[in-house]
Amino acid sequence: MNLSPIKKELVDQKVKELRIPDIGNASIRELVAVVNMVEEVSGVKYIRMEMGVPGLPPAQVGTEAEIEALKKGVASIYPMVDGIKPLKEEASLFVKNFMDVEVNPKGCIPTVGSMQGTYASLMCAGNTNKEKDTTLFIDPGFPVQKQQMLVLNQKLESFDVLNFRGEKLREKLESNLSKGNINSIIYSNPNNPTWICFTEEELAIIGELANKYDVIVMEDLAYFAMDFRKNLAQPGMPPYQPTVAKYTDNYILFISSSKIFSYAGQRCGMMVISDKLYNKEYPYLQERFKSATFGSTITLRILYSFSSGTCHSAQWALTAMLKAANEGRFNFIKDVKEYGEKAKVMKQLFLQNGFNIVYDKDLDEPIADGFYFTISYPGMTGSQLVGNLLYFGISAIALSNTGSEEEGIRACVSFVKREQFPDLEERLNLFNKQFGPN
Ligand SMILES: Cc1ncc(COP(=O)(O)O)c(C=O)c1O
C-alpha cells in the first residue's frame, strides 16, 4: 500500500533529470531545484524545510534608511573599504550593548553577508603561519563554510560536538590543538543545524585553549540573540549574548543581518575583529600578502580585492538598524521569536508521528526552540529519510551534509507557514502509517 500524496515515479524522474546521484546527499540548492520541478508538475505545495531563508518582512527601519541613502545619491560613491564611519561606531556600540564586549570601531567591518566575512577570515587565518595550515570546524556546521575551504584549497579538520559537550569539550579540543597545525576554530552559536547553544563553561574552554595554542576563534553569530529561552535583546542590560570574546582576545565575530533583521537580500553583514588580533603582526602575512597586520591584510588586501567594500546604501540600512537597537527603539527579537513558536508546534507534530529529536539537549537543559531542529525516524538513515519525505511533500537536508555523525535531517522552520501545519500533520501521519511499526 502506497500512501504518499506524490507519485514516487514523478520525484524519481525529476531527480534523474537533474542528474543528482543520491538525493539523500543532495546540496540545498539541488533539493530546491527538485522540489520546484515536482511542485510545478504535481500541483502539490511542499512543506519546505530545506533552505534557511528568513520568511519575514525586512526590518522597516533598515529599508527606510536605505531608500533615504539612495535618494541622497550614495549609489554613485565608493564606500570606504572597511566601512562607513557611522556603521563602525554603531557596530562597536551594539557589541558593547548586547554582548558586554569592548571593541574599537576600527575592527568592526561590513562585509557582503557574513559569508564574505568568513571567506576573507578563513583565507587570512590560513596564511598567518606556515606550520598552522588547518582550520578546525566544531560540527555540525553550515555546509557553505566547508565549500569556502574547498574553493580556498585550504585544509580542515572537524568533529561532531554531540558527544563532547561540557567539560568533555576540553579534552577533545586539546587533542586537536596540541598537534600544532590548527590556525583557527570555527563554529556557529546558536548552531546551524542543531540549535545547540554553547554554555558559558564551553565558551570558556574554547577561549582558554585558543589562548594556550594561539588559535583564532571565529564565532559565527548568524542567529544573534535568538536563544529565545533568555531575553537577550535589551541594550546595556544582562543577560547578554554569550560569546567566546569574554574568554579570549583572539577572536572574530560574524554578525549577520540576514536572520535577525530579515535583511538577507541586501547581503550586508559585519565582522568584528578583536583589538589585539586586528593589530597583531604575522611575518607570514607580510610574506604572502605584503601586509603586516591581520587587520590591514583583511581590509586593504583581501576585502579590497574581493569587492572593494560593501554596498553603500545597505551600510546605511545596517547603521540605522543597529542604532535603533542600541537606543532601545527596535526590539529586533520580537518579530523573529515567531520562528521559535513555530518550531515548538512543528517539533510536536513530528514527535507525535514516530520521529525523534536528534540533538535534543544543551547538557541537561532541553534545547531551545528556534530556526532549526534535527529529527530522525527509526530504522532510516538520514539520506533515506530525505528521499522518503520527498514523496510525502516534505523537503529537508540530511544531517550528513553538515558534518554530523548522526542519522537524521535538519528541519528549517522559517519558510513553513502556519496555514501549512494541517498539511504537515496529515502528511506525517500518512508517513508514519506507511513506515511505522504496525
Ligand atoms: C551559520 C550561518 N552563517 C552564515 C550564514 C549566512 O549569513 P549571510 O546571509 O549574512 O551571508 C548563515 C545563513 O544561513 C548561517 O546559517
CA–CA separation, 258 vs 377, rounded Å?
A: 31
- Phi and psi angles of residue 225, each rounded to the nearest 5 degrees, phi first: 65, 15
Above 80 in pLDDT, residue 8?
Answer: yes
Whether residues 39 and 78 fall in one domain: no
Average pLDDT over residues 20-34: 88
- The last residue of a domain, from among 276, 291, 326: 326
Q: In this structure, is residue 139 part of a structural domain?
A: yes
Q: In this structure, is residue 188 part of a structural domain?
A: yes
pLDDT at 438: 67
Assign residue 93 the CATH number of its domain: 3.40.640.10
Q: In this structure, is residue 66 part of a structural domain?
A: yes
Q: How confident is the model at residue 372 (pLDDT cuts 50, 70, 90)?
A: very high
Whether residues 129 and 27 fall in one domain: no
Q: In this structure, is residue 403 part of a structural domain?
A: yes
Q: 2 exposed, middle or buried (CB, 10 Å; 0-12, 13-18, 19+)? A: exposed
Whether residues 172 and 120 fall in one domain: yes
Whether residues 416 and 285 fall in one domain: no
Q: In this structure, is residue 344 part of a structural domain?
A: yes
Assign residue 27 the CATH number of its domain: 3.90.1150.100
State the cell numbers at 105: 570601531
Per-residue pLDDT of 52-82, as tens digits, reads: 887 789 999 999 999 999 999 999 999 999 9
Whether residues 294 and 394 fall in one domain: no
- Virtual torsion, Cα 390, 193, 336, 45, nearest 10 deg: -10
State the cell numbers at 41: 508538475
> Distance, CA 256 to ligand 1 centroid (Å)?
7
In sequence order, the β-bridge partners of residue 378 are: none
Element (H, E) at 236: none
Residue 266 CB partners (closer than 8 Å, separation 6+): 58, 62, 66, 257, 311, 314, 317
Whether residues 188 and 171 fall in one domain: yes
Cβ count near 304 (within 10 Å): 13
- The last residue of a domain, from among 326, 348, 372: 326
State the cell numbers at 73: 545619491
Which atom of ligand 1 is closest in space to residue 256's alpha carbon?
10
Query: Residues near ligand 1 with C-beta < 6 Å?
Result: 52, 113-115, 142, 188, 192, 220, 222, 256, 258, 264, 269
pLDDT at 52: 81
Q: How confident is the model at residue 359 (pLDDT cuts 50, 70, 90)?
A: very high
Q: In this structure, is residue 343 part of a structural domain?
A: yes
Whether residues 322 and 288 fall in one domain: yes
- Phi and psi angles of residue 93, each rounded to the nearest 5 degrees, phi first: -65, -40
> Distance, CA 353 to ligand 1 centroid (Å)?
31
- Segments forming the whole domain that contains residue 45: 8-56+333-435
The sign of the CA dihedral 403, 182, 149, 108 is positive
Q: How confident is the model at residue 2 (pLDDT cuts 50, 70, 90)?
A: confident
pLDDT at 25: 83
What SS3 state is found at 289?
helix
Whether residues 387 and 410 fall in one domain: yes
Whether residues 258 and 180 fall in one domain: yes
What's CA 253's distance to the chain center, in Å? 12
Above 70 in pLDDT, residue 249?
Answer: yes
Q: How many CA atoms lie within 13 A of 135 on its CB side?
A: 30
User: Is-contact 372 412, C-beta < 8 A?
Assistant: yes
User: Is-contact 111 82, C-beta < 8 A?
Assistant: no
* Strands 356-357, 361-362: pairing kind: unpaired
Q: In this structure, is residue 79 part of a structural domain?
A: yes
DSSP state of 189: S
Q: In this structure, is residue 355 part of a structural domain?
A: yes
Residue 175 CB partners (closer than 8 Å, separation 6+): none
Above 80 in pLDDT, residue 1?
Answer: no
> Distance, CA 437 to ligand 1 centroid (Å)?
39
Cβ count near 255 (within 10 Å): 27
Structural domains of the chain, count: 2
Residue 365 CB partners (closer than 8 Å, separation 6+): 229
Whether residues 417 and 309 fall in one domain: no
State the cell numbers at 317: 540600512
CA–CA separation, 391 vs 6, rounded Å?
A: 5
Above 90 in pLDDT, residue 280?
Answer: yes
Q: Measuring from atom 14 of ligand 1, which residue has the nearest CA?
A: 52
CA–CA separation, 288 vs 154, rounded Å?
A: 15
* Strands 269-273, 356-357: pairing kind: unpaired
Per-residue pLDDT of 73-112, as tens digits, reads: 999 999 999 999 999 999 999 999 999 999 999 999 999 9
The edge-to-edge listing of strands for the beta sheet with 182-188 is: 108-111, 269-273, 251-255, 216-220, 182-188, 134-139, 155-160
Among 115, 263, 414, name the best residue to mutate to test ligand 1's pocket (greatest count of ligand atoms within 8 A of Cβ).
Answer: 115
